[in-house]
Amino acid sequence: MHVWDSTINKKLCNKGAIITNSRKRLIVLLDLLLTRISLDTMAPKKSSKGLDSLNQRLGLVMKSGKYTLGYKSTLKTLRSGKSKLIIISSNCPAVRKSEIEYYAMLSKTGIHHYHGTNIDLGTACGKYYRCSVLSITDAGDSDIIRFMPEQQ
C-alpha cells in the first residue's frame, strides 16, 4: 500500500467508506487533485485589509481623540508643534502636499499618504464632505500613531 493510498483511505474512512478497488482509488485521487488545482487557480479575493484597518483606526480617533481637518488648521497644528501624525489624501494638490511635508519635516511629525481620494478620507473620518488633509493631535484610544511607521 502506497502513502497516497493511506491518505486517501484516511480521508474516505472519515466519511464512512473504505475504497479497496484500485480504479475507484484512482478516480478519488484525480478528483482530489482536480479540486486542489481548481482551488489553487481561482482568483484570490481582493483584500483591502490595510485600508480597512486604517479606516477603523481613523474612526476610533474621531470618537475618542483630537484632530483637525483641513489644510489651514493642519498648518497651524504643525507650526505650533501639537500635531502627532498627518494624513494626506492621494489627490491633494502637489504644492499643498509639498508644503505640508516641509512643515512636518521641520516639526518631526509623521506623515502617511492615504491611498484613497479626499472623498474617501472624508468618508473614513465619518464626515459628509471632502477632506484632503487630516492632522491628529491626540490619538485617544486608537493606536494609529504606532501603526503608521509599520506601513511605510
pLDDT in tens, 32-89: 666 665 544 554 444 456 667 888 989 999 999 999 999 999 999 999 999 999 999 9
- Both 65 and 137 in one domain: the answer is yes
pLDDT band at 122 (very low <50, low <70, confident <90, very high): very high
pLDDT of residue 44: 47
Cα separation, 52 vs 108, whole angstroms: 27
pLDDT at 148: 73
Task: Give the model's pLDDT for residue 53.
Answer: 83
Global pTM exceeds 0.75 = no
Strand order in the sheet with 133-138: 66-69, 133-138, 85-88, 110-113
Q: How confident is the model at residue 145 (pLDDT cuts 50, 70, 90)?
A: confident
Q: Say whether both 72 and 109 belong to one domain.
A: yes
CB 84 within 8 A of CB 109: yes
Residue 73 phi, psi (nearest 5): -70, -30
Q: Could you give the number of structural domains in the chain?
A: 2
**Which range marks the domain in which residue 7 is found?**
3-41
Counts for the chain of helices (H) and strands (E), in that order: 7, 4
What pLDDT sits at residue 82? 95
Distance CA 144, CA 147 (A): 5
Q: Are residues 55 and 30 located together in one domain of the fold?
A: no
Same domain, 29 and 62: no
CATH code for the domain in which residue 92 is found: 3.30.1330.30
